[in-house]
Every structure is written in structure tokens, then in C-alpha cells.
Structure 1
Amino acid sequence: MALRLGLLNIKGRDSSALGRFWAEALGWGVFSEGPNVTGIGPAGFVWPDPVAVCVCVVTVPDPETVKYRVHLDLATTSAAHQAELVARLKELGATPADVGQGDVPWTVLADPEGNVFCVLEPREIYRDTGPIAAVVVECADPRAMARFWGEAMDWTVHEVTDDHARLRSAKGVGPYLEFLRTTPGVKTVWNRVHLDLLPYRGDDQAAEVARLQTLGATFADVGQGDVPWIVLADPEGNEFCVLAPA
């Protein structure tokens, strides 16, 4: 058994406005919009597909007030593309952000609700990922996180060191999932960005949840109430959801 990555879930006070920002930022379209939730993806995309990890923006009542552990890295193909993308994102409402990065070749921005993300300089490894180069998770132990997520999903572990780990879909397409060693602060609120995992058709959601528990996942309460998905936390406390099979 294994799970696939179904959605990247971003929280916001205004899911419609934030969803429109990210659709424009990524060059995608809005494929679903309802009360308090907006889904975006590339034109012609049929969900689920590892080529592009669709984004679901969900309304929550609280503002962004804390440093969170998960962010997006956006890919560029040239120095000119990077400059053009940064300028366009600022026109859309992004603002420069200082997270202590110092003098680096990438640009750190915040979306209109304060969610930080990076616009990377051109890197060969991200030449075929699409607009999202990587989903980056700050953690204390990249090796342990790679073991957990490599077992949790049907993704391949590409690189593991004491400081960094990198996974990608076994089909060799789409963005990377990366774990970056930091010294995370004490986690007191849930993450603003998390992953939604999807069982394959015919697989059992409850069985997958039980399997994840044997790997070190625990149940998490983020105020979700009675919902068809199950909220868990990985061994470092990062929430994620296991959806019902599609």
C-alpha cells in the first residue's frame, strides 16, 4: 500500500482572493470555487496527476502571525525569467520578505496574506518541474523525515544527508518534496500549508491510516470536526490529511 500526493493545501482568510493570487502567480486557472475553498491547477489538468500538484486554498479565521514550517519554492528558467516573475508577483500583491536569508541568489516574497515563498534562481534540477519547484519543509532530522515520507507515499527518495532530503514522484514528474534541516521553534499552532494524501482507487482509507501510525504518525485535531478526511501529524508534528479514495 502507498499514498499519492493529491493536493497542496494553503490556509487563508479569503480563499477566493488568495486562490486568484496563486492562480495568477503559477499561470494556472481556477477549476473549482465554493464557499470557503478555491481549487487551482493548470489548464486541461485532470486530478489527480503527479505532473502537477493542485493547490486548494481554504478559508480559516485566524491571521498569519507566526513563522511556519512549510513553504513553496517557485522555479525559473533564466535570470531574466526570475526578474520578470518577481516583478509580476509584486504587481499581483506579493511583498519582499526578510526571513534572515542574507545575500542569496533567490528572492523571498510573501503572498498577500503573509505566507512566505521563494522565487529561485535557475537550477538545472528544477528544469522540468513546472512552476512549483519544491514544497519545502523545515525540520530537525531530514533523514528521519525522508524515511517516514518515503514509506508514506509512492515517491522516490533522491537525496538524503544530515541537512537535506529530497523526494519526487516515482514517475519522475512534478515538484519535489524537500526537507531542510533547521532548528524549528516550538510548534503551538497548525501549519498554514500542508499536504493532502490520496489512497489509490480500491485501497482502504482506514487501513492506510493504520499503516501510517505504525510509521510514526499520530492523530491531530485542528478543529476539523466531522469530515470525510482524516487529519494526522508526521513524527515532527506537521499536519497532513488522508483523503477518501477518489
Structure 2
Amino acid sequence: MASRLVNVNFKARDDAALGRFWAQALGWGISGEGPGVTNVEPDGVAGPDPSAICVDVVTVPAPETVDYRVHIDLATTSAAHQAELVARLEELGATPADVGQGDVPWTVMADPEGNVFCVLEPREVYRDTGPVAALVVHCADPGAMARFWEAAMDWTLHEVTDEHARLRSSRGVGPYLEFLRTSGTKTAVSRAHLDVAPYPDDDQAAEVARLRSLGATDADVGQGEDVPWKCLADPEGNAFCVLSAR
């Protein structure tokens, strides 16, 4: 039994507008799941597929509380590609962002609702990930977080140091899930979180119980009781959702 990483989920004031931005940024298509929800996914992807972790954008009443514990890194293939992508993203409505990064070879930007993301310089490790190089989670203990998520999902640990840990699907496709040591205590609710789901033949309740046994705890993010997903938090308090089996 294991969970599959399905989406990175963004809270938004306007899901349709932010969904259009990310669809154009990634070169993907848009599908709507209902009022207030826009799903962004590559053409030809049916259901959860580790080759392309999708983007879900959800309108919420008050998304202004911002904590950048989770962000997206975009891959590039050359210095020219990086410059062209940054320029195109600015035309789409992204803006430069300063998060204290200093003089670095990557470009930090914010989408039209202020969600920070990075456009990376060319790196060999990301040459086959597709447009999304990595989903990055800021944390206090990368090793402990990587161990939890390695046990939670059928992903493989590729690297772990005191400052950084990296997982990828056991199929060796798609983006990485990375954990980056960051100082300071995080207290605000994050604008972005991960969505996971059991395999089709597995039971959601049993998977939630297994994740709790690994160190996850119940989380209340205002979801109410009448929803088909379960909200949990990882050992450092980052909320994530367990969707129904699909």
C-alpha cells in the first residue's frame, strides 16, 4: 500500500485566471472540475501519472495568508532558454521576487497572485523532468521529511544531506520532490500543498490510517466534514490532502 502524488494545489482568489497563467506557463491544458476549481495538466495525461504532477487551483474566500513552504521549480535546457522563459512569464503576468536569495543563477518570480516559484538555470539532473523540475518543500529537517515521504509514497530517495533531500518516482520519470532546510518557525497557513491518493484497488481510510502510523496527524484547514478527501499534516505540520482512490 502506498500513496501516489497527484497534484500541487494552490489557493487563489480567482482559480480560472491563475489556472490560465499556469497552463500557459507550462504549456499544458485546462480542465475544470467544478465551480471554483481549475485543473492544469498536460495533454494526454489520464489520471495520476508521476511523469507530470498536475496543478490544481482552488478559489478560497481569504487566500491572502502567505507562507511559501511549498513552491515549484521550473526546468530550462540552456541559458538562452532560461532568459526566454523568464521573459515569456513576465508577459503572462509574473513579476520578479526577492525572498533574500542574493546573487544566484536561478530567477525567483511570483505568479499573478504572489505565489513564489523559481526558473532554474540548466541542470543535468533535471534534463528529463519536463517543465516542472521539482516541487520544493521548506523544512527544518530534510532527512526526516524525506524518510516520511519515502515511506508514504512509492518514490525513491536519490539524495540526502543536512541541507537537502531529493525523491523521485520509482519509475524514474517526472519532477522531483525536494526538501530544503530553512531556518525560522513557520506559523502561517501555506498557499500551496500536496495532494496524494491511494492506488485504485486500495482503501482511502486504510491509507489514511497507515499515514497516521508513519507520523502524519489530522489537520483542520477549514475543509468541513462533508468532503471526500482527508486533510492530514506531515511531521513538520505541512498540510496535505489524501484524495479518494483513483
CA contact (8 A) 2:134 2:178 kept: yes
CA RMSD in angstroms comes to: 1.0
Work out whether residues 139 and 184 of structure 1, in 8 Å CA contact, stay in contact via their aligned partners in 2. no
Cα offset, 1:186, TM superposition: 3.4
In 2, the alpha carbon distance for the partners of 1:41 and 1:67 equals 24
What residue in structure 1 maps to residue 220 of structure 2? 221
Question: What runs of 5+ residues in structure 2 fail to find an aligned partner?
Answer: none
- For the residue of structure 1 that corresponds to 2:118, the secondary structure is strand
Give matches, 1:25-174, under 5 Å.
25-174=25-174
Matched with 2:209 is 210
* Rounded Cα–Cα distance in structure 2 between residues aligned with 1:74 and 1:64: 24
Distance 1:236 1:11, change over 3 A: same
Q: The residue matched to 2:81 in structure 1 has which SS?
A: helix
The SS at the match of 1:244 is coil
Post-superposition offset of 1:6 = 1.2
Match of 1:198 in 2: 197
TM-score of the aligned structures, taking structure 1 as reference length: 0.97
In the TM superposition, what is the alpha-carbon distance from 1:57 to its structure 2 partner? 0.4
**1:231-242 counterparts in 2 under 5 A?**
231-242=231-242
Amino acid at match of 1:138: H
Which blocks of at least 5 consecutive residues in structure 1 are unaligned? none
The one-letter code sitting in structure 2 at the alignment partner of 1:61 is P
Please give the per-residue CA displacement for 1:189-226, whole angstroms capped at 9, x wherever unaligned.
32111111110011111111111111110000001012
The Cα shift of 1:62 comes to 1.7
Identity %: 75
By how many angstroms is 1:61 displaced? 1.8
Q: How many Å separate the matches in 1 of 2:65 and 2:198?
A: 33
Letter in 1 for 2:242: V
Q: Which moved more, 1:88-97 or 1:31-40?
A: 31-40
| Contact kept in structure 2, 1:230 and 1:243, CA below 8 Å | yes
Maintained 8 Å contact 1:74/1:131: yes
Q: What amino acid sits opposite 1:216 in the alignment?
A: G
